[in-house]
Amino acid sequence: MPLSDCKIIELPKKTDMRGNLTFVESNNQIPFDIKRVYYLYDVPGGADRGEHAHYDLHQFMISMSGSFDVTLSDGYEQKTFHLNRSYYGLYICPMMWRYLDNFSSGSVCMVLASMPYTEDDYIRDKSEFLRLVKG
């Protein structure tokens, strides 16, 4: 899949004097069924996450608090997305190398995933990823 399939999606935001409410529904705001939810937090300053790709997993990342950067590569192009609002999320399609860094203090990254965890879906070696996408 090309990098252009990955994109920022604005989520619904309901606002009134009591605060804001945002929601995500499977196959509505995001193009997959949610099978797993996990989150990254207490990431030490200067640390990074990711450095892998997935064969089949679709993901949707949201900065629930603070900010961080997500750099994606399809093996041909690379693009960095800055996530810093809880009503915007980044859709990441399968076969996309990802690297997360620049975590602000107190940041929380929530990830909605299309599959339960399975180690077999990971590509952890970048040279192997590039071999697969470039044939």
**Catalytic site residue 52?**
yes
**Both structure tokens of 115:** 């599959």
Q: Which of 52, 54, 58, 82 is catalytic?
A: 52
Q: What are the strands, taking DSSP E only, across the chain? A: 7-10, 13-16, 19-22, 36-41, 49-54, 59-65, 68-73, 78-83, 88-92, 97-101, 108-113, 122-123
Q: Which residues are catalytic?
A: 52
